[in-house]
Structure 1
Amino acid sequence: MKLDERHLVQLAAVVQAGGVTEAAILLGMTQPAVSRTIAMMEQRIGEPLFVKGRRPLQPTALGQALASHGQTMLAASRKASALVAGFQKGAFGVVRVGGSPFFSDALISGMIAEFQDRRPDVRVEQSYGYLGQLRAALDADRIDIAICPIDVLKEGSGLRFDVVLPGRNVVACRTTHPLLMKRRLDPASLLDYPWVGPPEGSPLYADLNSLALSLGATEIKIRYSGGSLSSAINYLKSSDALTVLPHSVVFAYRNEKSITALPVRIPHPERALGILQQSNATRAPAVDAFVAHVTKRFKDLALLIERHEKAIVWGL
């Protein structure tokens, strides 16, 4: 004999609530509909499911055994409903975010941790790349959003770019670098020191080459390259080397008082940091929640970063 799972769920609700009316309210059904279900089950099985004359209703041994199976289904249904509701609110799901390595490590990883502290059931998958790679990943649906610097986004690209910060790159060094001791810094003196090479193909690498050309140099002394952001900063802290970093990265390390920026303007195109995404993509609510979180965090940081830029970068 095959029993309808929905009938078992209704039986479990009656046993749990102690009455047909209460069970109907619990299930969002009418009292007559639940009563018909119980009567139909008893008729089909040929045995009573509740002890006659008892209030609140008391299940028979068979009624209790069948209700236990229905209770499992009822609990699973509630969990499924909660899961759907949580997904719709952005409390569950997966966020796939790509970004330029140094910027992502310095700022975005911390924002991810803050986001997951509030939404612990959202999984975030972070990957790295530069603009061309990130656009390809968006087109192939390997990531949901990219957080990166852009100078020009052509019309008709099918992409949307929301600016969160100006994209200024700076010359970074340790806080006790000899060049910081000079009352007037001659930009040509930058060529007297070794450099940490930024990742090839990055805007940082392009800006280093632009800086070298503006100083009349045919080459620049790159002593160390290929490392992560952490290794590059540790190298700077232990040497007189220089490198090119996003100003926002220098800002992120301000409390450590280990690196700072020299008051030298790097010739580079107008650039902005922002969130890149497909214009017409259907995104999971968790992705929308993450975008809102990152946007708010940068809005909170924007004024502090601007003050840091004025006070530290150009204040000498």
Structure 2
Amino acid sequence: MQIDPRHLIQLATIVQCGSFGAAAAKLNVAQPALSKSMKKLEERLGAPIFERIGRQSVATDLGTTFARFGLMMLAAEDQARAYAQHLSTGQAGSLLIGTAPSLADNLLAPILSDFLASHVGCRVELRVGLLAELETQLSTGQVNLVIGPARPLSADLQLETETLADDMLGIVCRKGHALTRQAEILPRDLEAQRWVAHSRGSYLRMQTEDGLAKFGVSSFDIALDTDSTETAYKAVAKSDLITVMPRLPTVLSGHNDAIEFLPLDSTAFQRPIGIVQRASHPRSSLELAFLRQLRRAVQPAGGAG
């Protein structure tokens, strides 16, 4: 048996309003057309859904039962309308975000925490991984946005990048390290140190090796190899080990009291932070709202670095 869902909504409205006339006005239909629809519903059910009591049409037990189904449909319609409104204003929906380990804890975690507090209908899936892995997830639709170091992308991936903030890598050591007292840092000074290296195959590791090579460092002694930026921070803060870190996430990390950057700049260490997405992906209202908050959080920190 097929029942027109519109008839159930009309039935529920009649029961709610108490009369055909009031329901017709609320539904913006002619009363004869509404009566005809109820007659069709009665024929479909094979039993009356209204009975005459005096001058009023009152729902029968069957009519009251099916009116409840109509009320549930009305409630679902209201919920769908409200959710659609939240979606259109960026108050609800899902964010599928990928990011690099160097940005996850110190940049995105506090921003996402604030964003979720003000967007209670929002759900976030945050994927942390190497940039090459994230670009693959992006191209296959597993994530919609990647917040990470902006780098040239393969044309066949059909990805596009928008610069979020300028950033650079820097060589980090503990406060009071012997290198901080030198007027000039030479390649041989860096070759004499023991290093914390980032995970092999990561873009950060590739940039570290490339930047040091262009500065004239022919080799560096790796004491600790890790894919955890937090481990790298803590290892450097409590020893004479040194490492390379992006400046902006480090400013936001809370480790500034224990570590510092050496006064060494190189164009090879440039590492702008970008927003990467599929070229075909239209940003949702929720994504636009998140990116506005992300830009507000990043710009002051970038200026302070």
Q: Which has the higher strand share?
A: 2
Name the residue aligned to 2:295: 298
Matched letter for residue 38 of structure 2: I
Give yes or no for contact 1:195–1:220 (8 Å, CA) kept in 2: yes
Matched letter for residue 275 of structure 1: I
Gaps of 5+ in 2: none
Give yes or no for contact 2:168–2:269 (8 Å, CA) kept in 1: no
Write the mapping of 1:15-94 to structure 2, written as runs, cut at 5 A. Answer: 15-41=15-41, 45=46, 47=48, 49-53=50-54, 58-94=58-94
Task: Give yes or no for the alignment of 1:175 onto 2:175.
Answer: yes
Gaps of 5+ in 1: 310-316
Name the residue aligned to 1:184: 183
CA distance in 2: counterparts of 1:207 and 1:41, whole angstroms: 71
Shift of the alpha carbon at 1:295?
4.3
Shift of the alpha carbon at 1:161?
1.2
Give yes or no for contact 1:164–1:299 (8 Å, CA) kept in 2: no
CA distance in 2: counterparts of 1:31 and 1:258, whole angstroms: 78
Give yes or no for contact 1:165–1:302 (8 Å, CA) kept in 2: yes
Name the % identity. 26
Write the mapping of 1:1-316 to structure 2, written as runs, cut at 5 A. Answer: 3-41=3-41, 45=46, 47=48, 49-53=50-54, 58-153=58-153, 158-180=158-180, 182=181, 184-187=183-186, 188-214=188-214, 216-254=216-254, 257-268=257-268, 270-282=270-282, 285=284, 288-306=285-303, 308-309=304-305
Give yes or no for contact 1:102–1:229 (8 Å, CA) kept in 2: yes
Mark the CA change 1:238 to 1:227 in structure 2 (over 3 Å): closer, same or farther: farther
Matched letter for residue 236 of structure 1: V
Shift of the alpha carbon at 1:214?
5.0
Mark the CA change 1:250 to 1:189 in structure 2 (over 3 Å): closer, same or farther: same
CA distance in 2: counterparts of 1:259 and 1:273, whole angstroms: 22
Shift of the alpha carbon at 1:253?
1.8
Q: Structure 1 length normalisation: TM-score?
A: 0.80
Secondary structure of 2:94's partner? strand
Matched letter for residue 119 of structure 2: R
Mark the CA change 1:208 to 1:77 in structure 2 (over 3 Å): closer, same or farther: closer
Q: Structure 2 length normalisation: TM-score?
A: 0.82
CA distance in 1: counterparts of 2:149 and 2:221, whole angstroms: 26
CA distance in 1: counterparts of 2:293 and 2:49, whole angstroms: 61
Give yes or no for contact 2:207–2:269 (8 Å, CA) kept in 1: no
Give yes or no for contact 2:131–2:203 (8 Å, CA) kept in 1: no
CA distance in 1: counterparts of 2:251 and 2:212, whole angstroms: 24
Mark the CA change 1:24 to 1:266 in structure 2 (over 3 Å): closer, same or farther: farther
Tell me how large the CA RMSD over aligned residues is: 3.2
Give yes or no for contact 1:160–1:277 (8 Å, CA) kept in 2: yes
